[in-house]
């Protein structure tokens, strides 16, 4: 099969005509499917329904005698620290268990830095400029937080090994105004890239000009594998930072939002003991403690990390056919046409499609016209501005396989048609 770039104008016009007819037919099919966010499907949510009854009528006490029904235990019950510590490969002593959202913990961490500084440094709100590094494409809600606080965001390209560390090292060492970097180090959102061992170790050895610089390490997909054996591995960042003489440089975030129930899970932050003590000072003012009943519910449901691993295998069995269907469709329909690129992730929640430059917005808009709502083009970049207008995030998790197959039929038509339109314009 010829690539579109190899086709004559007449061949492209004939292909365009056939695709327009196919699109019109899909437009009239009545499909209404929202794939704009990475939400678990109902089938995935059903996996955790036994959590609703797991506590039964027991006395809701921890092994140390803590009554989870009452006030107290600011930083979370020990059993939950052990469970989430095993999940993110950290010591329980280095963990605080929060409420239902890790995103909320990230917001609070930046808010606290703005108002009170970091370990005695000048509060960021009193500085002339505060800057932040943003690996792109990345997680739009990360960028929304830093934008909300008026923090200047700087794009850092993602490579197959993770962020461009040559650029990261240069920027943080030269500019004291750079106070942090967003990271989704395993099965990244949206590309599904896992940082290489060398990338993690280079992060740990950073020499930032700002002593209050912090790495925001969002390990959102640490146990979200698609395959039992063919899995990515990630070097543990806290131990690397400690070994490199930078024990306070990283905040590591996680939650069970895409493991049990989004909005009703438990979240955690792992960091150095110095950072933890400062965070607890603020927590003592803000709260008496988070939902210990829910923490205990999760512990009783999973029992230990082995129970969580088995649970995530069930998630993978649901998600794997969806990912494979999309990627196989891309390989079959698009690989020889020269109209885009994609990565085959081994885990996570997204597939990243990189269209021809200048085509992403048009593809997303055309798909919406046929009833398929995708993540807005530009969302994986700070300020919603994709410099090349090429990246499209696909969230396969929520729809049924049947609906997803229909959605990808529409998506493929839109990619082909928008790409041909671009090439015909260039020919003129």
Asked if 186 contacts 232 with a C-beta cutoff of 8 angstroms, the reply is yes
The owner of tokens 């099969």 is 1
Structure confidence at residue 107 (pLDDT): 98
* Cis bond upstream, residue 190 (ω within 30): yes
SS3 182: strand
**Distance from C-alpha of 208 to C-alpha of 73, rounded to nearest angstrom:** 35
Between helix 401-427 and helix 9-27 the angle, nearest 10°, is 150
Asked if 68 contacts 287 with a C-beta cutoff of 8 angstroms, the reply is no
User: Which residues pair with residue 393 across a beta bridge?
Assistant: 352
Structure confidence at residue 297 (pLDDT): 97
DSSP strand pairing (214-218 vs 162-163): unpaired
Between helix 102-116 and helix 140-148 the angle, nearest 10°, is 20
Task: Provide DSSP, 12-49.
Answer: HHHHHHHHHHHHHHHHTS---EEESS-PPPHHHHHTTG
Mean pLDDT, 10 residues at a time, the chain of 428 residues: 93 97 91 93 98 90 95 96 98 97 97 97 98 98 98 98 98 98 98 98 98 97 96 98 98 97 96 97 93 97 98 98 98 96 98 98 97 97 98 97 96 98 94
The torsion region of residue 408 among left (phi > 0), alpha (psi -120 to 50) and beta comes to alpha
CA distances 37 to 62, 136, 190, Å, are 36, 18, 11
Structure confidence at residue 31 (pLDDT): 83
Per-residue b or e along 8-47, where b marks 16 or more CB atoms closer than 10 Å to that residue's CB: eeeebeebbeebeebbeebeeeeeebebbebbbbeebeeb
Structure confidence at residue 123 (pLDDT): 98
Instruction: Set out the domains of the chain in order of their start, with CATH numbers.
Output: 4-44+309-427 (3.90.1150.10), 61-302 (3.40.640.10)
Helices (H) and strands (E) in the chain, counts: 13, 13
Task: Provide DSSP, 216-243.
Answer: EEE-TTTT-BSSSSS------HHHHHHH
Phi, psi of 253 (to 5 degrees): -110, 150
Structure confidence at residue 29 (pLDDT): 83
Structure confidence at residue 21 (pLDDT): 96
Asked if 372 contacts 415 with a C-beta cutoff of 8 angstroms, the reply is no
| Cβ count near 3 (within 10 Å) | 11
User: Quick one: CA torsion of 278, 88, 216, 200, rounded to 10 degrees?
Assistant: 120
Asked if 238 contacts 263 with a C-beta cutoff of 8 angstroms, the reply is no
Inter-residue long-range contacts of 55-62, CB under 8 Å, 24+ positions, other chains counted: 55/293, 55/296, 55/297, 55/300, 60/293, 60/296, 62/296
**Distance from C-alpha of 302 to C-alpha of 126, rounded to nearest angstrom:** 45
């Amino acid at each position: 099969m010829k690539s579109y770039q190899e086709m004559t104008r007449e061949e492209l016009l004939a292909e365009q005509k056939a695709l327009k007819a196919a699109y019109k037919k899909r437009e009239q099919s009545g499909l209404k499917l929202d794939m704009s966010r990475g939400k678990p499907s109902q089938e995935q949510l059903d996996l955790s329904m036994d959590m609703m009854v797991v506590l039964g009528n027991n006395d809701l006490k921890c092994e140390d005698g803590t009554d989870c029904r009452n006030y107290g235990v600011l930083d979370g019950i020990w059993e939950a620290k052990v469970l989430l510590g095993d999940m993110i490969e950290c010591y329980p002593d280095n963990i605080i268990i929060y409420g239902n959202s890790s995103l909320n913990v990230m917001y609070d961490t930046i808010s606290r830095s703005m108002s009170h500084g970091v370990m005695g440094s000048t509060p960021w709100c009193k500085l002339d400029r505060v800057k932040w590094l943003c690996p792109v494409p990345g997680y739009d809600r990360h960028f929304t937080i830093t934008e909300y606080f008026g923090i200047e965001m700087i794009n850092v390209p993602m490579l197959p090994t993770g962020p461009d560390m040559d650029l990261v090292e240069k920027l943080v060492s030269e500019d004291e105004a750079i106070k942090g970097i967003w990271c989704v180090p395993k099965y990244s959102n949206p590309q599904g890239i896992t940082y290489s061992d060398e990338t993690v170790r280079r992060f740990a050895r950073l020499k930032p000009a700002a002593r209050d610089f912090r790495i925001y390490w969002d390990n959102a997909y640490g146990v979200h594998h698609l395959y039992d054996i063919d899995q990515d591995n990630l070097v543990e960042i806290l131990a690397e930072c400690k070994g490199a003489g930078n024990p306070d440089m990283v905040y590591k975030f996680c939650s069970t939002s895409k493991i049990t129930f989004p909005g009703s899970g438990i979240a955690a932050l792992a960091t150095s003991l110095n950072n933890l003590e400062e965070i607890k000072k603020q927590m003592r003012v803000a709260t008496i403690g988070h939902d210990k009943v829910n923490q205990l519910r999760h512990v009783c449901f999973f029992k230990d990390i082995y129970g969580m691993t088995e649970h995530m295998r069930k998630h993978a069995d649901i998600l794997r056919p969806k990912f494979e269907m999309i990627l196989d469709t891309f390989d079959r329909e698009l690989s020889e046409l020269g109209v885009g690129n994609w990565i085959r992730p081994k885990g996570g929640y997204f597939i990243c499609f990189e269209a021809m430059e200048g085509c992403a917005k048009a593809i997303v808009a055309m798909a919406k016209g046929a009833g398929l709502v995708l993540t807005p083009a530009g969302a994986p970049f700070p300020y919603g501005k994709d410099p090349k207008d090429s990246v499209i995030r696909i969230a396969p998790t929520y729809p049924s396989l049947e609906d997803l197959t229909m959605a990808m039929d529409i998506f493929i038509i839109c990619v082909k048609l928008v790409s041909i339109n671009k090439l015909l314009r260039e020919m003129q």
